[in-house]
Amino acid sequence: MKMSEKRDLVKKRLKAKEKELEKKRKEDEKIAKKLKKEEKRLSKEQSKNHSKTPKAHSEKQEKIKYDILQIFTDARKYKTTYTKKYINRVPWKRPDPQEIKSIIPGVVTSLEVKVGDHVQKGDHIMTFEAMKMLNLVLAPFDGVVETILVKEGEKVPKGGVMIYLKSDREFDITEDFVTSDDLGLVE
């Protein structure tokens, strides 16, 4: 190896070390800035906490609501707090079997019935286009068309109620023996 090649190699190594040192210096600066911001935030919180009376601080702790969670009926009870997502959830309600809903988004192609028409189980009620397929919607039971909530050519989202079909006979809706209280532990 020639002397000039060695010098060039040494120069490249020095440049690489300088770049590494510069990167480390920048990272250290970022970390220092973050630490300063965190210190400022903590000092502000401490000053706010010192300005409040101890009574106000204890009232804040009392405002936190705890809920009791018991997994089994004979088991321990736990104190817990629920998340915002859990608290704001849409509660489940038993679906009404008389509501004819769309199971996928689509377009109402044609309506075969009018309000007040009596239909038998299996009668063609409407045609619903979804995913480039024409789906025939049939009456699930005998009944009278009470309300039509869609028009021909209208787009319907998933789960959208299209027709309310009043049944000729009453549905037997019985409560399940399995409830959330016993988690299916039937004796």
> 68-111, pLDDT tens digit by residue?
878 788 888 888 888 888 888 888 888 889 999 999 999 999 99
- The H or E element containing residue 38 is helix 3-51
pLDDT for the residue numbered 126: 96
Q: How many CA atoms, within 13 angstroms, populate the side-chain half-sphere of residue 64?
A: 9
The segments of the chain whose pLDDT lies below 50 read 56-62, 180-187
Predicted local confidence at residue 69, as pLDDT = 78
pLDDT for the residue numbered 109: 96
Helix (H) or strand (E) holding 136: strand 133-138
What is the token pair recorded at 143? Answer: 């009944």
Among 113, 114, 106, smallest CA distance to 153 is for: 106
CA 139 vs CA 49, 51, 99, 100, 144: distances in Å: 65, 69, 11, 9, 10
